[in-house]
Amino acid sequence: MRFLLSKPEAIPYFRDLIAEFNASQQDVEVVFDTSSNLQAGFLRGNPPDLGLLNYNMEMARFMARGALSDLKDMPEAGRILPEVQDLVNNLAAYPGRTSVLPYSVMAASVIYNKQIFADNGVEVPETWDDFLAVCDTLKAAGVVPIYSTFKDAWTVSQGLFDYTVGGMVDVAGFYRQLREEGTNVGPDSEVSFAKTLTEPVSRMEMLAENYTNEDAASRGYGDGNLAFSKGEGAMYFQGPWAFGEIAKSGPDLDLGTFPLPMTDDPESRKVRVNIDLAAWIPEDSTHKDAARTFLSYLFQPDVMNAYNESQLGYGTTTDAAPVTDPRILGMKPYFDEARFYQGASQAIPLTIPTENYLQGIVTGAGVEPTLQTLDADWARLALRQ
């Protein structure tokens, strides 16, 4: 059976795992695939037998069209946390099926340098006003409050946009209403990007203009990791995938995480999550039984826990080990209480250049005209579909 993985950083882990599995029995031989074109495989009727990929709108299309088989009879499906399985269903569903099983969740929020906070007498903020006060104090002391990397558009959408929107808006409910509006999304619809997101995106623009490094427009992700490791900023709007890169130049930094507060109510704070990896078996697989056997092997608690520990991910099952890395412990209470949201940028199909629009806003484009353009793009895409 052919096993497709989408995450380059995890290739060594799964290569060793596959070797162990293949050596442990004679019934199933797993062939590791890290380069096939997913859409081409489905179109040609030759998809991988088992996929373990990041779950987003592009992947959700295959489930919505019935291209993924039903896994709800597998014991592994019964172990998934309901609130985590809901993250799958928020993007798409197929009647009567559980076709995608989340394997790992990445929680992301504000990364902060604890030493810089302590040196400047500021604490983790609990409200929007607290956060602005922290930024003002740091700026007055000559410290860059938020180190930003606008040259790479994805860092704007994943960080500033997702954190500000997710802290003020019911993301799942917003997109549910948008899908219901369909081709009607625009100035006269009940919900729209321009109507619903103008306030959080305006705050995003304000943070970008007032509290980031002056050269943010010319700094990329790699630049940001290096600069933050050298203490050139107090906060960094990135996910846990950045910690390994930061540690290469700043191994002794004392870093933590906290959700960006966007309201005056501390209880409204939430963290951004995405399904880092999710498992599925296509209907067109000719080796479904073998794929199920290997899926069960992958979902053993010790195998899942070792993966999540190595990648700083959160477990998706009722028997998952708790996270222990101090860098991500600041998000644990929020994850445990399901106080999280999927990034708003992840629910928009890639045919709409959302990242470029957001990059435009933080480098000078107007908020409302850009969101109106996004409304028009959404309505046109709904018409084509």
| Closest to 300 in 3D by CA, of 65, 17, 48, 66 | 17
> How large a percentage of the chain has pLDDT more than 70?
100
| Closest to 217 in 3D by CA, of 365, 367, 366 | 365
Return the DSSP state at 212: B
| Closest to 102 in 3D by CA, of 242, 383, 351, 295 | 295
pLDDT at 39 (0 to 100): 85
Domains for the chain: give ranges and CATH numbers. 2-105+272-342 (3.40.190.10), 107-271+348-384 (3.40.190.10)
| Closest to 38 in 3D by CA, of 69, 14, 61, 17 | 61
Q: How far is CA 61 from CA 37, 183, 197, 279, 357, in A?
A: 15, 18, 25, 15, 23
Mean pLDDT within 326-351: 94
Helical axes 367-384 vs 193-210, angle rounded to 10°: 140
pLDDT at 41 (0 to 100): 87
Query: Six-digit token pair at 312?
Result: 């700083």
Q: Find residue 289's DSSP bridge partners.
A: none
Q: What is the mean pLDDT of the chain?
A: 95
pLDDT at 249 (0 to 100): 94
Kindly report, residue by residue over 160-169, the tens digit of the pLDDT.
999 999 999 9
E-assigned strand segments in the chain: 2-5, 31-33, 50-55, 101-113, 146-147, 235-238, 255-258, 271-280, 340-342
Q: How far is CA 180 from CA 105, 193, 316, 343, in A?
A: 27, 14, 29, 20
- pTM recorded for the entire structure: 0.93
Rounded to a whole number of angstroms, the CA Rg of the chain reads 21
Reduced to 3 states (helix: H, G, I; strand: E, B; else coil), residue 3 is: strand
Within 70-146, where are the H helices?
Answer: 75-79, 82-89, 114-119, 128-140
4, 53 Cβ separation under 8 angstroms:
yes
Mean pLDDT within 17-46: 92
Kindly report, residue by residue over 265-315, the tens digit of the pLDDT.
999 999 999 999 999 999 999 999 999 999 999 999 999 999 999 999 999
> How large a percentage of the chain has pLDDT more than 90?
89
Q: Is the pLDDT of residue 57 over 80?
A: no
pLDDT at 283 (0 to 100): 95
Kindly report, residue by residue over 70-80, the tens digit of the pLDDT.
999 999 999 99
Mean pLDDT within 36-46: 87
When pLDDT is cut at 50, 70 and 90, the band that residue 45 belongs to is confident
